[in-house]
Chains A and B, each alone.
Chain A
């Protein structure tokens, strides 16, 4: 450990720490553009100048490692004047059209200019013009005039994905970020360059000009796209419902978790939340197939489901849970299954095409909570059938009541004809899920689930890390969180009043399932905890 003084305050940090990070520990922000803790140091933007001891010239904080007894000042007139000059340089060719720039509101040129701007610009010459609105790939668009050449995006493609698509071409005031002619920015993590771009040079083709960022509300969440469980932030637009074509989820952004995803998420996850505002969302409980379907209220639906479950012997009922349900949902389902002594229970459905996987973040298992379903025990009971077995038994009329959660079985690895036959053969088919699909249209009863951003809960990732996600927006229509639906059905079977909050379900889970013993929402904090394997 190394002890040093920054702006008169002592701090002890690990050897090798740079001055920006050491100052951050004291709550002192050293302005910077090119430095990013996840990337190599470029020393390109020159904004992080600080004074060291009696050294007459300010030095960059990003590339200066701490030393014992070092005296750093980040607030002297010389430092402030230097910042102002550097900002002046950065803005020489930068357009002054923040009102029409999509980055406005989250632009570090704006933020630092408020504090360190010159306000009386001295530039009288014509600005250098460069290409604008250049698509770099399917997600990223470049405005070369807004670029300050910090090279974060170049380093990201070199160091994180190893794909090296981007470079800084030409020189002097003609320098610009670009792709090798004819190539595309098409790596599976491409949109992270939008997050790390400190200015409006790289923006998101999906998000730009959809909503102003200051209208967004945010909630901490977990990406449900695969079993990695990347930590994310959900940005929702509810204050300007007429913007963004009614899409409430405006965008998903990575949230730092040193143990899971660091600063990044993959593009598949980032753009995978569209189903939440899709036209296929189920908005109300319904009974009756196809054209004959009629919407009913929950107060009518819950007793209907309970009476259906009572009509059949336990070995005539199959339950196909989903590895995308939260731990809270799975626990209440498990409780109900145990109470009814059902034996045909499973959650595994093989995908039609095996998922892709890499050595960065992407996992082949495209379900958020497979590990949770394993730990909570949603597999077949002794003598019970697995998912495939249940379908066969349904075709043979041995299973008469089938309750499927979320799965689109027609998009699974099993032959469509077999699945279709099974679904037609059962006397009572209950579908519970957030979106309609080929399976839901065949159901006698449809129970609409809230999407993950519409409720609280936890997922257990592939390495057994239990992570919380928070409600970002109200459930669509009459949809309810799966645990709420299951709690009400449980009540109909005398399992007590339904839990009031997701946290109550988790408490009950922690009290009854050994791997979760001792855990609580408070204990999980923002970044989760690994349960005993």
Chain B
């Protein structure tokens, strides 16, 4: 569905009902911009400029103001991302306990730099600030799951488990 560039951005009637519901939750419907952008990302995989203009239309906002929000948050993807996203924490505790080695290992295994996506579209690799799990440092987040106390073998097992 997220063939690069050629995604027609338009919600289904059911998704539009959800947009209206979200907009109705707040005194100022503009407050629903974040959840609606998340919905866009869930449905289309990333938030393209076309999607920003589409969302601007849903909120009667200028596209520039939607672009402000999308560029502010790192969790919004403006380019197509992989089926899985691996975010390696590089903050203090993880750093002291070997985050750099974890990252180097991942880069080698995946053949991509930080911010890159494998050519088969399987994994996007990110390096991020503290994910609030110092007790299992060094750690990473793969999609919605935390993985900690990482070693080379554990990282390999995680990668092997990804479709």
Interface residue ranges, A against B (CB under 8 Å): 158, 163-171, 178-183
> Could you name 13 residue pairs across A and B whose Cβ atoms are closer than 8 Å?
A158-B62, A164-B61, A164-B65, A165-B64, A167-B64, A169-B71, A170-B72, A180-B49, A180-B52, A180-B53, A180-B62, A180-B63, A181-B67
Cβ-defined contact, B64 with A180, below 8 A: yes
Complex CA gap A181/B65 in Å reads: 12
Does A183 lie within 8 Å of B72, measured CB to CB? no
B68 close to A (CB within 8 Å): yes
In the complex the two chains form, is A168's CB within 8 Å of B49's CB?
no
Q: Report the Cα distance A183→B62, complex, angstroms.
A: 11
Interface residues on B, range: 10 to 19
CB interface residues, B 35-67, toward A, < 8 Å: 49, 52-53, 61-65, 67
Taking a contact as CB atoms under 8 Å apart, the answer to whether A169 and B68 are in contact is yes
The residues of B with any CB-CB pair to A shorter than 8 Å are 49, 52-53, 61-65, 67-68, 71-72
Contacts of A164 in B (CB 8 A): 61-62, 64-65
Of all chain B residues, the one with the shortest Cβ separation from A172 is B72
A427–B50 alpha-carbon span in the complex (Å): 66
A182 to B49, CA, bound (A): 10
13 further A-B contacts with Cβ under 8 Å, apart from A167-B68, A179-B64, are A164-B65, A165-B62, A165-B64, A167-B62, A169-B67, A169-B68, A178-B64, A180-B49, A180-B53, A181-B49, A181-B67, A183-B63, A183-B64
What residues of B have a CB within 8 angstroms of the CB of A165 in the complex? 62, 64
The interface residues of chain B lying within 8 Å CB-to-CB of A166 are 64
Nearest CB in chain B to that of A169: its residue: B71
With both chains docked as a complex, state the minimum distance between the C-beta of A117 and any C-beta of chain B, in angstroms. Answer: 31
Residue of A163, A166, A169, A179 ringed by the most chain B CB atoms within 10 A: A169
A150–chain B nearest beta-carbon distance, Å: 15
Instruction: Give CA–CA (A170, B72) in the complex, Å.
Output: 5
Answer whether A168 and B62 are a contact pair too, CB < 8 Å, given A181-B49, A182-B49.
no
Counted as pairs of residues, one from A and one from B, with CB atoms less than 8 Å apart, the total is 37
Check A167–B49 contact: CB distance below 8 A.
no
Chain A residues positioned under 8 Å from B62 (CB to CB): 158, 163-165, 167, 180
Known contacts A180-B62, A181-B49, A182-B49: does B67 contact A167 (CB below 8 Å)? Answer: yes
Residue of A nearest to B63 (CB): A180
Residue of A nearest to B68 (CB): A167
> In the complex, A181 Cα to B49 Cα: how many Å?
8
CB A371 to nearest CB in B, in angstroms, measures 37
The 8 nearest A-B residue pairs measured at CB: A164-B62, A167-B64, A167-B68, A169-B71, A180-B63, A180-B64, A171-B72, A170-B71
Contact indicator A167/B72 (Cβ below 8 Å): no
Most buried by A among B53, B71, B72: B71
Chain B CB within 10 Å, residue with most, of A166, A167, A178, A179: A167
Residues of B contacting A169 in the complex (Cβ-Cβ under 8 angstroms) = 67-68, 71-72
The distance in angstroms between the C-alpha atoms of A178 and B71, with both chains bound, is 12
Shortest beta-carbon distance, B51 to chain A, in Å? 13
User: Which residues of chain A are near B63, meaning CB under 8 Å?
Assistant: 180, 183
Is there an interface contact between B68 and A168, defined as CB atoms closer than 8 Å? yes
Distance in angstroms between the alpha carbons of A171 and B49 in the assembled complex: 18
Which residues from chain A contact B72 at a C-beta distance below 8 Å?
169-171
A158 to B52: give the CA distance in the assembly, Å: 18
What's the Cα separation between A62 and B74 when bound, in Å?
Answer: 32
Residue of A nearest to B61 (CB): A164
What A residues does B68 contact at CB under 8 A?
Answer: 167-169
- CA gap between A179 and B63 in the complex, in Å: 9
Q: Whole-angstrom distance from the CB of A409 to the nearest CB of chain B?
A: 43
A171 to B64 alpha-carbon distance, docked (Å):
15
Chain B residue at minimum C-beta to C-beta distance from A176: B71
Minimum CB distance partner of B72 in chain A: A171
Which residues on the B side are within 8 Å of A180 (C-beta)? 49, 52-53, 62-64, 67
| Cα separation A158 to B61 with both chains bound (whole Å) | 10
In whole angstroms, how far apart are the Cα atoms of A292 and B78 in the complex?
70
Shortest B104–chain A CB gap in Å is: 26
A181: B residues at CB distance < 8 A: 49, 67
Cα A166 to Cα B65 in complex, Å, equals 8
- Per the bound structure, the CA–CA distance linking A338 and B61 in Å amounts to 59
* Closest beta carbon of chain A to B71's beta carbon, Å: 4
Complex Cα distance, B52 from A169, in Å, reads 13
A163 to B68 Cα, complex, angstroms? 15
Distance of A423 Cα from B76 Cα, bound (Å):
69
| Neighbouring A residues of B53 by C-beta, 8 Å | 180
